[in-house]
């Protein structure tokens, strides 16, 4: 996007993001981007996923924007709850797309160890983008998470889980939410200066 001094860190959800997923497209499109790699995409353990995110952030001291999807969003919230201050300060913002409600009754058993979802304010600007017909989270629950995390929320109509299955391979319109987040980050940094 606009700022070459920012590192974009892609944080996939359960089962990873395949080649035709928008996160993969964005990784190839955005400068200075990398992906958090998990040792086990199929049977995720919260501690392992949080540790992999921490390692990816700490790998470089460049400021970071997190771009998370589904279980990746919940991983970001868990990481932010326990991360050391110097790493929290390195994260300038987070785009959280289609967070998975791991507390819902129909949640896959493999994801339940990520519950409960942290309800602490995120210490950096964040933008949640979700859908009104996502089986992984209701619009109401999305708004609750946004309130808890201090995030701005956008609810799309009929977008499903905002993944390949719901027709979001490249998801070019998603860049508008990233731009909106970056504008909010700039205002936030001016207030802190």
Can you name the residues that pair with 72 across neighbouring β-strands? none
pTM above 0.85, yes or no: yes
pLDDT of residue 4 exceeding 80? no
Q: Which pLDDT band, with edges at 50, 70 and 90, does 165 fall under? A: confident
Triad 115, 120, 122: Cα angle to 5°: 110
CB contact at 8 A, 98 and 134? yes
Dump pLDDT digits (tens) for 124-136.
Answer: 999 999 999 999 9
Dump pLDDT digits (tens) for 36-57.
Answer: 999 999 999 999 999 999 999 9
Q: Go through 134-150 and write b for each residue having 16 or more CB atoms within 10 A of its CB, e for each that does not.
A: bebbbbebbebbbeebe
Q: Where are the domains of the chain?
A: 7-192
* Beta strand spans in 73-120 (E): 91-97
Dump pLDDT digits (tens) for 11-21.
Answer: 999 999 988 89
CATH of domain 7-192: 3.40.50.1820
Give the mean pLDDT of 179-187.
Answer: 89
Query: Residue 98 in 3-state DSSP?
Result: coil
Indicate the length of the chain as a whole number.
193
Q: Which pLDDT band, with edges at 50, 70 and 90, does 191 fall under? A: low
pLDDT of residue 181 exceeding 60? yes
Q: Which pLDDT band, with edges at 50, 70 and 90, does 2 fall under? A: very low
Give the mean pLDDT of 99-109.
Answer: 96
The C-alpha atoms of residue 17 and residue 112 are separated, in whole angstroms, by 20
Spatial neighbors of 43 by CB under 8 A, at least 6 apart, are: 110
């Amino acid at each position: 996007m606009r700022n070459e001094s920012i590192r974009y860190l892609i944080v996939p959800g359960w089962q990873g993001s395949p080649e035709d997923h928008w996160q993969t497209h964005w990784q190839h499109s955005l400068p200075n981007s990398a992906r958090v790699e998990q040792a086990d995409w199929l049977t995720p353990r919260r501690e392992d996923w949080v540790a992999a995110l921490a390692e990816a952030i700490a790998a470089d001291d460049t400021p970071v924007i997190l771009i998370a999807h589904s279980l990746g969003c919940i991983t970001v919230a868990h990481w932010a709850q326990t991360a050391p201050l110097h790493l929290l300060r390195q994260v300038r913002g987070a785009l959280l797309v289609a967070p998975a409600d791991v507390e819902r009754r129909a949640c896959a058993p493999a994801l339940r160890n990520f519950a409960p979802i942290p309800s602490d304010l995120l210490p950096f600007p964040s933008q949640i983008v979700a859908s009104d017909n996502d089986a992984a989270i209701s619009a109401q629950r999305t708004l609750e998470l946004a309130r808890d995390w201090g995030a701005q929320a956008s609810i799309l109509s009929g977008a499903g889980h905002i993944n390949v299955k719901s027709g979001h391979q490249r998801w070019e319109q998603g860049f508008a939410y990233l731009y909106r987040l970056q504008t909010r980050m700039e205002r936030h940094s001016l207030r802190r200066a």
